[in-house]
């Protein structure tokens, strides 16, 4: 049963899935745009939006929570100083006041295995 299951398993165990999302988020904040499968893109959007919302708070506790997820200090510094600064004036599109900072655009399927692909980018 799927009761109260909030995330997709992505055919991985918990530790591997968390490491995957952390690496995808690190690459997204480093490059501003990445290409991945559609399912991973949707999960990454949820995960990275939460990190970006923490970065918008900007306090010490938020910085420590982000550093627990993104273990590259340069990327975390860029997230707080540059990326969060770009979104300070932006009104969140989500009714709860979170989210709307990341765009997922579906693209053509991957040539080798026909997997549905998507581009994830910061808005």
Please tell me the predicted confidence (pLDDT) of residue 97: 55
Residue 107: domain span? 14-90+98-122
Q: Is there a domain that residue 39 lies in? A: yes
- What average pLDDT is seen over the chain? 91
CATH number at residue 53: 3.90.1030.10
Q: Is there a domain that residue 9 lies in? A: no
* Total domains present in the chain: 1
Q: Is there a domain that residue 7 lies in? A: no
Tens-place pLDDT, residues 60-116: 999 999 999 999 999 999 999 999 999 887 766 665 555 688 999 999 999 999 999
Q: Is there a domain that residue 76 lies in? A: yes
Q: Is there a domain that residue 27 lies in? A: yes
pLDDT-derived band at 1 (thresholds 50, 70, 90) equals confident
* Residues ≥6 apart with Cβ < 8 Å to 51: 25, 29, 66, 69, 70, 79
């Amino acid at each position: 049963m799927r009761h109260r299951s909030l995330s997709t398993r992505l055919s991985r165990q918990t530790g591997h899935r968390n490491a995957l999302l952390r690496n995808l988020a690190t690459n997204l904040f480093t490059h501003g745009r990445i290409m991945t499968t559609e399912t991973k893109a949707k999960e990454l959007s949820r995960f990275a939006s939460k990190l970006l919302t923490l970065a918008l708070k900007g306090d010490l506790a938020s910085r420590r929570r982000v550093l627990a997820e993104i273990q590259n200090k340069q990327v975390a510094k860029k997230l707080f100083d540059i990326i969060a600064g770009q979104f300070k004036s932006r009104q969140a599109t989500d009714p709860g006041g979170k989210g709307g900072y990341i765009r997922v655009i579906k693209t053509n399927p991957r040539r080798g295995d026909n997997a549905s692909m998507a581009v994830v980018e910061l808005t």
